[in-house]
Chain A
Amino acid sequence: MKKLLGMTLLLIMLVVAICTFQWFTHPDHSITFLSSVNLCNLAQRIGLLGIYALGAGIVILSGGIDLSIGSVMAFVGVAVAMLTVAGWNPFVASALVVLCCVLLGCWHGFLVGRIKLQPFIATLASLLLLRGLARGIPNGIAQTISHEPFAFLGNGSYLGIPITFWLLIIIALILGFLMNFTVYGRYLYAIGRNAEAVRYSGIKVNRVRTLAFVICAVLAGVAGVLELSLNHEIQPAQSALMYEMWAIAAAVLGGCSLRGGEGSVLGVIIGAMLIRVMDNGMNLVGVSSEWQWAVIGVIVLGGVIADAAYKLRAANKT
């Protein structure tokens, strides 16, 4: 809880800093950060990142990791685009492909639970495999689609709030319910801490782990559909490249520990906000986008170090 407070504070400070900077540097004291166009844009991007970061967060919470998110997104994008080009309704295609993500999650659960592969390795294989398929099947050629209703998913808004952000809210509510009001939430936390002890308590650990991988794969699939809808096209080699790293960064910033057993839905969303606000702020302030990775890297490192230092101090105090 304290950590969430810290991160929220950091977020507020960041926003204040951006606004102040703009107020002083703009001759007319205009704050473009707070313009509705910018906020809308920001919310749209937070929504997208938040959706797949939540997936990453749940797997991390259960003591695992999923490296395949970016590749899943690219694969889903290519698959939906190609089906649409072939004459399918893009919504039907999306539903079908996202359904296939359930199978992928089960596959990860099988590899980790039954074959006893480490989650890192199992999902690394999917990272390579799915990206390879996404590039190989269309032979590397970018796919473009134009379908007004479908484009609305990624670009449209309702009551002034982007659809992606609405989706994030809905998904967060569902996951928040799952984590806090059903036994699966309890099991996920417990497995992240000591999976063997949970198994000895008669819980089907593999099933719960699989559930986490399924949620992650499905959310990555949804994000893939949104990304395609947003851009109207997909570049098999570049699209969603390294997005799993953004997802993991958001989860870690939001309080997930890679050791497992720690983290919350709200935390991950705050983590996603931090990353996107930082991004956006740098754009507005005029830092070249070439620097963005480095800056986010520093923030992630700073956030985790601050947390570690805080924990150390708390431990010494007792």
Chain B
Amino acid sequence: MGESTALLQMQNITKRFPGVLALNGVDLDLREGEILGLIGENGAGKSTLMRILGGDYPADSGDIVICGKQAQITDVQHSIALGVSIIYQELNLAPNLDIASNIFLGREPAWGALGIVDSRALYSKAAEIAGRVGISAPMNTLVETLSIGEQQLVEIAKALSVDSGILVLDEPTSSLSPAEASKLFEVMRGLKNAGVSMIYISHRLAEIRELCDRVVVLRDGERVGELSGDRICPEEMVRLMVGRDISRFFPEHGRHAEGDTVLMVRDLSYRGGRDVVNFDLRAGEILGIAGLVGAGRTELVEALFGVEPKHDGEVQVMGENVEIRAPADAINVGMGLVPEDRKALGVILEMPVTENISLPGIGNYNPPFMDRNKEKEVAVELVDRLEIKTPSLNQLVQFLSGGNQQKVALAKWLGISPKILILDEPTRGIDVGSKSEIYRLIRELADDGMGVIMVSSEMDEIIGLSDRVMVMHEGKETGILDRADINEQNIMHLATGGSQA
């Protein structure tokens, strides 16, 4: 089937942003009825290429041919008219509207010319599409009350609600649970059988191998290769993406955590007091928190960090009772949190890299004055240490690629060297190369005596990096696994509500 004709050809596409050559003469062709993988490190230009296809902004030069016809895509509407539908990496939903209205935003079924919305049809059509992608919430649920994963599903439903010949999915699974993701793959296979061609972007190479007929690899804005058939394997893909072999993905485990207990949590209740959790964290260890989506992991760490002030129970930091009512209190006793929702909570998109990195610390440099020299010093060092790809320190974070934004969210905390660092899905949307970098970094921090809590939905990450794993199910911890017992079976057993042997 890979032999069918090219439905879409992007030829010699070049795109320059101030200070960055994002795409340099890239070719991409998509054949009828195939799923084409598009991979590359953070900032390689994947999203930029797709935004050009979607009419978000024009290319500086290059041609786009759709169905053999030259297409001058001028704007988003035009691209949709050409049968292109794109699920962007960033969510673009109206938070104050419900699911159904979001799915059909701007295309509501209406009676006659008056444009009175036919809500009956709206809700039944929406329910049908939502059912296909596995949205379980009622159609009149406000989008702002949904989890990020659920919002992502709404975004997917929205793209499916228009009949399109070309569907682009830019990292749709980065915030989905494994169950939600496999549901999505099922939908994608169904679409493929119905003749829809898809471009699929992901940093999860296993997914790419499972789904894609062909893979195009970008590196630093250039097309560096194409793989098909058996050659679509993680080793080949990594080699092309990174330009070298990554010999060791996860760092050595720590010099074993014999450090003092830095954090002791006793009968901590959150989410209105239904759930109670107990655990300890020692200096120098990485404590993984695993569980299915909805197990309450994010709520737990947010309660710990004082985002949700109302909770009961006892928290001790370095052996002393602490009362944490706000993030400011948490930081005072030496905690840091890299939140799950990077765009809304982790960084300030319209602020420069430097000012984002210095935000938690600048109040302590030389209060109440703003010490710009120190600020810059810290930023330079961290940008270097985390290898954040940015044309300058003054670049607004919104113009960085997703993975580099995440690194900024992490860098913020390294600037104030907390004793306890909480990471909520730390490598979401980060490429393999940077991932192993970040793992090494997390391990280094732990080796330097920091206690690290890492919430993650990625089994590999939990198993590969944690010294101990706490597994949660429906808001309670169901068990804590020591190094020797950490494996997929044990984790899944506890995550689905089983008890510890």
Report whether chain A binds chain B.
yes
B18 within 8 Å of A by Cβ? yes
B363 touches A196 (CB 8 A): no
Shortest CB-to-CB span from B151 to chain A, Å, is 16
Instruction: Give the complex CA separation of A214 and B57 in angstroms.
Output: 43
A160 within 8 Å of B by Cβ? no
Shortest CB-to-CB span from A294 to chain B, Å, is 34
B370 within 8 Å of A by Cβ? yes
Instruction: Give the complex CA separation of A270 and B452 in angstroms.
Output: 51
Inter-chain contacts of B346 with A (CB < 8 A): 197, 200
A193 touches B348 (CB 8 A): yes
Within 8 A of A (CB), among B292-333: 307, 326-328, 330-332
Within 8 A of B (CB), among A141-186: 180-186
Contacts A181-B369, A318-B57 known; A204 to B326 CB distance under 8 Å? yes
Inter-chain contacts of B111 with A (CB < 8 A): none
A186 touches B345 (CB 8 A): no
Instruction: Give the complex CA separation of A133 and B17 in angstroms.
Output: 57
B369 touches A202 (CB 8 A): no
A197 touches B370 (CB 8 A): no
From A187, which residue of chain B is reached at the shortest CB distance? B363
B367 within 8 Å of A by Cβ? yes
Interface of A, secondary structure class, is helix
Inter-chain contacts of A199 with B (CB < 8 A): 307, 326-327
Within 8 A of B (CB), among A293-318: 316, 318
Instruction: Give the complex CA separation of A204 and B367 in angstroms.
Output: 15
Contacts A197-B348, A261-B350 known; A183 to B370 CB distance under 8 Å? yes
Contacts A186-B355, A198-B348 known; A203 to B369 CB distance under 8 Å? no
B367 touches A183 (CB 8 A): yes
Interface string of B462-490 (1 = CB under 8 A from A): 00000000000000000000000000000
Inter-chain contacts of B363 with A (CB < 8 A): 183, 187, 203
B369 touches A183 (CB 8 A): yes
Q: Contact residue range for chain B?
A: 20 to 34
Inter-chain contacts of A203 with B (CB < 8 A): 328, 359-360, 363
B359 touches A198 (CB 8 A): yes
A183 touches B347 (CB 8 A): no
Among A182, A193, A201, find the residue whose CB has the most chain B CB atoms closer than 10 A: A201
Instruction: Give the complex CA separation of A198 and B368 in angstroms.
Output: 17
B191 within 8 Å of A by Cβ? no
Within 8 A of A (CB), among B328-363: 328, 330-332, 337, 339, 344-351, 355, 359-360, 362-363
Contact of B362 among A181, A186, A193, A200 (CB under 8 A): A186
B158 within 8 Å of A by Cβ? no
Instruction: Give the complex CA separation of A293 and B359 in angstroms.
Output: 42
B345 touches A190 (CB 8 A): no
A194 within 8 Å of B by Cβ? yes
Shortest CB-to-CB span from B72 to chain A, Å, is 15
Inter-chain contacts of A316 with B (CB < 8 A): 57
From B347, which residue of chain A is reached at the shortest CB distance? A197
Contacts A200-B339, A204-B326 known; A182 to B369 CB distance under 8 Å? yes
Instruction: Give the complex CA separation of A184 and B370 in angstroms.
Output: 8
Inter-chain contacts of A190 with B (CB < 8 A): 348, 351, 355, 359
A197 touches B345 (CB 8 A): yes
Instruction: Give the complex CA separation of A199 and B308 in angstroms.
Output: 12
Inter-chain contacts of B307 with A (CB < 8 A): 199-200
Interface string of A55-79 (1 = CB under 8 A from B): 0000000000000000000000000
Shortest CB-to-CB span from A62 to chain B, Å, is 14
B350 touches A193 (CB 8 A): yes
From A182, which residue of chain B is reached at the shortest CB distance? B368
A202 touches B330 (CB 8 A): yes
Shortest CB-to-CB span from B20 to chain A, Å, is 10
Shortest CB-to-CB span from B330 to chain A, Å, is 7
Inter-chain contacts of A201 with B (CB < 8 A): 327, 359-360, 412
Shortest CB-to-CB span from B405 to chain A, Å, is 12
Inter-chain contacts of B331 with A (CB < 8 A): 202
B344 touches A196 (CB 8 A): yes
Shortest CB-to-CB span from A261 to chain B, Å, is 6
Contact of A196 among B345, B359, B360 (CB under 8 A): B345
Contact of A193 among B332, B351, B412 (CB under 8 A): B351
B368 touches A200 (CB 8 A): no
Inter-chain contacts of B345 with A (CB < 8 A): 196-197, 200
B327 touches A202 (CB 8 A): yes
B355 touches A182 (CB 8 A): no
A186 touches B326 (CB 8 A): no
Shortest CB-to-CB span from B448 to chain A, Å, is 21
Shortest CB-to-CB span from B350 to chain A, Å, is 5
Interface string of B397-420 (1 = CB under 8 A from A): 000000000000000100000000
Contacts A182-B369, A190-B348, A197-B347 known; A202 to B360 CB distance under 8 Å? yes
Within 8 A of A (CB), among B358-384: 359-360, 362-363, 367-370
Contact of B370 among A181, A193, A194 (CB under 8 A): A181
Inter-chain contacts of B348 with A (CB < 8 A): 190, 193-194, 197-198
Instruction: Give the complex CA separation of A201 and B348 in angstroms.
Output: 10
Instruction: Give the complex CA separation of A316 and B362 in angstroms.
Output: 35
Shortest CB-to-CB span from A257 to chain B, Å, is 10
Inter-chain contacts of A197 with B (CB < 8 A): 344-348
Contact of A184 among B350, B351, B368 (CB under 8 A): B368
Instruction: Give the complex CA separation of A79 and B102 in angstroms.
Output: 53
Shortest CB-to-CB span from A112 to chain B, Å, is 16
Instruction: Give the complex CA separation of A193 and B359 in angstroms.
Output: 13
Instruction: Give the complex CA separation of A168 and B119 in angstroms.
Output: 56
From A260, which residue of chain B is reached at the shortest CB distance? B350
Instruction: Give the complex CA separation of A179 and B437 in angstroms.
Output: 38
Instruction: Give the complex CA separation of A198 and B345 in angstroms.
Output: 8
From A261, which residue of chain B is reached at the shortest CB distance? B350
Among A190, A194, A202, find the residue whose CB has the most chain B CB atoms closer than 10 A: A202
Instruction: Give the complex CA separation of A196 and B95 in angstroms.
Output: 16
Within 8 A of B (CB), among A241-297: 261
Among A185, A193, A199, A200, find the residue whose CB has the most chain B CB atoms closer than 10 A: A200
Instruction: Give the complex CA separation of A182 and B412 in angstroms.
Output: 19
Instruction: Give the complex CA separation of A185 and B337 in angstroms.
Output: 24
Inter-chain contacts of B326 with A (CB < 8 A): 199, 204
A194 touches B368 (CB 8 A): no
Inter-chain contacts of A194 with B (CB < 8 A): 344, 348-350
Contact of A200 among B57, B332, B337, B370 (CB under 8 A): B337
From B362, which residue of chain A is reached at the shortest CB distance? A183
Inter-chain contacts of B355 with A (CB < 8 A): 186, 190
Inter-chain contacts of B17 with A (CB < 8 A): 318
Inter-chain contacts of A202 with B (CB < 8 A): 327-328, 330-332, 360
Instruction: Give the complex CA separation of A171 and B448 in angstroms.
Output: 48
Instruction: Give the complex CA separation of A41 and B277 in angstroms.
Output: 69
From B330, which residue of chain A is reached at the shortest CB distance? A202
Report 6 cross-chain contacts, Cβ distance below 8 Å, ordered by A residue: A190-B359, A197-B344, A199-B326, A200-B337, A203-B359, A261-B350
- The 4 A-B pairs of least Cβ separation, nearest first, read A202-B331, A201-B359, A201-B360, A194-B348
Q: Supply 15 further A-B pairs (C-beta < 8 A) apart from A183-B369, A196-B345, A197-B345.
A: A182-B368, A183-B362, A183-B367, A183-B368, A184-B368, A186-B362, A190-B348, A193-B350, A197-B346, A198-B359, A200-B307, A201-B412, A202-B331, A204-B326, A318-B17
